[in-house]
Amino acid sequence: MKVVLFCGGLGMRMREDAASAPKPMAMIGDRPLLWHVMRYYAHFGHTDFILCLGYGAAAVKDYFLRYDETLSNDFSLAMDGRNIRLFSADITDWNITFINTGLGTSIGERLMRVRRYVEDDEMFLANYADTLTDAPLPEMIGRFRHTDAVASLLAVPVQSTHHVIDVTAGDQVTRVRPIRELMQWENGGYFVLRPEIFDVLREGEDLVPHGFDRLLPQRRLIAQRYTGFWRAADTFKDRAELEELYHSARCPWMLWDPHRNRQRVSAGLEPVLG
């Protein structure tokens, strides 16, 4: 399946380090966030990528035009320094299409601008370029395939670390608990879509909520609830936490690398919602 990735956001909440690169190019270990997302899809055999570019498009293009396989693969180097033999490779079988979809464009509009690349396919995948998970993609696709839904999203528990309180009429606090215990669900991306999604998209609007809102009366939007590993890199703090996981070799999202996901623990997918 083709994979559409939205890479054009400004990522203002990750500017504590004053970086000029777009958020998907923030580094986690030796590779940017975008590479980690793409490598996840490639692990399951989906290597035909369409990158919806905007802010920082040149940085994304330059990264792949100058891609160095030796950073994440073992290799041997001949004595003359010009003969490199790779023992494995990351992206030799990838096909990457780079499309400029505008600077201030919403996700929905970016998707509309790459319509011609996916509208003839039975289904396609789409995602933000800054969220990581170990969710079982083949199972998600399989469940979606057996429905008549137009769109499926990964639903994850609310990620806030804040606490909620129960309060009586007399202002007495009777309970304090983490927000995650409420089991509310948030949109975690990792969309599976049918081309009918373009029937509900409009210029000047977004995929979420506008496009998805039009699917609700038709009951053609489903959620696949997942309580395993999922992280969004929205802030500098988020990125620092992912960096810590990377350097301690506790990377559940790196399904392709047993050395870095050896402590992976996943809770599994819950049933698809109708």
Instruction: Give the pLDDT band (50/70/90) at residue 83.
Output: confident
Mean pLDDT of 157-183: 78
Closest CA to 61 of 24, 106, 107, 9: 24
- Pick the range with the lowest mean pLDDT from 195-199, 220-224, 254-258: 254-258
Which two tokens mark 16?
Answer: 């504590």
Which two tokens mark 31?
Answer: 């590779």
Q: Structural domain boundaries of the chain?
A: 2-272
Closest CA to 11 of 2, 165, 20, 53: 20
**Among 65-74, 169-178, 190-199, the range of highest mean pLDDT:** 190-199
* Whole-angstrom distance, CA of residue 248 vs CA of residue 89: 23
**Residue listed under structure tokens 């380090």:** 17
pLDDT tens track for 44-56: 999 999 999 999 9
* Whole-angstrom distance, CA of residue 269 vs CA of residue 264: 15
- Residue 176 pairs with which residues in a beta bridge? 165
Q: Widest CA span of the chain, in angstroms?
A: 80
Q: Per-residue pLDDT for 274 more than 90?
A: no
At residue 134's C-alpha, the angle toward residues 133 and 137, to 5°, is: 100
At the topology level of CATH, where does 2-272 sit? Spore Coat Polysaccharide Biosynthesis Protein SpsA; Chain A (3.90.550)
The reported pLDDT for the residue numbered 263 is: 54
Which tops the pLDDT comparison, 154 or 165? 154
pLDDT tens track for 85-129: 878 888 889 999 999 999 889 999 999 999 999 999 999 999 999
* 151-157 vs 191-193, strand pairing mode: antiparallel
Closest CA to 132 of 256, 262, 10: 256
